[in-house]
Structure 1
């Protein structure tokens, strides 16, 4: 006879923690803000600074064309 495990039968450590929707929303908005800020900073770098970081001008242009939510 097969036994089907339910969530209550699983050990406490193997359960997925449930986060509240507002915490996930806050984390998403914070990530979008970081994306926008770092892309603004990237746009201000000159060619010498880009070379120091190891980013080509075409890679910078590609990153700057990406929307902040990605």
Structure 2
């Protein structure tokens, strides 16, 4: 029977989770789709979500792999 020490438990809780290739690919595709949808919103809808046209255009221009770290956390 294996026992975890307190340090092992902390290390396991803080270690970054490994994701599979397909999970990463799915996340990248979803990011691309979201940005493409953002690009199609008109000024009225952008105002509803609290973004300006310039902010939406800047986000839509970002590369598929360029996502903020808080988007990746928890997945």
Rounded to whole Å, the distance in 2 between the matches of 1:65 and 1:43 is 9
Rounded to whole Å, the distance in 1 between the matches of 2:3 and 2:58 is 49
In structure 2, the partner of 1:61 is 57
Query: What is the correspondence of 1:1-16 to structure 2 with a 5 Å cutoff?
Result: 10-11=4-5, 13-14=9-10, 16=12
Deviation at 1:10, TM superposition (A): 4.1
Q: TM-score, normalised by structure 1?
A: 0.67
Deviation at 1:67, TM superposition (A): 0.4
CA RMSD of aligned residues (A): 2.8
Structure 2 unpaired stretches of 5+: 67-75
RCO higher in structure (CA 8 A, sep ≥6): 1
Matched, 1:33 2:29: yes
Q: TM-score, normalised by structure 2?
A: 0.63
**Segments of 4+ moved more than 2 angstroms:** 8-17
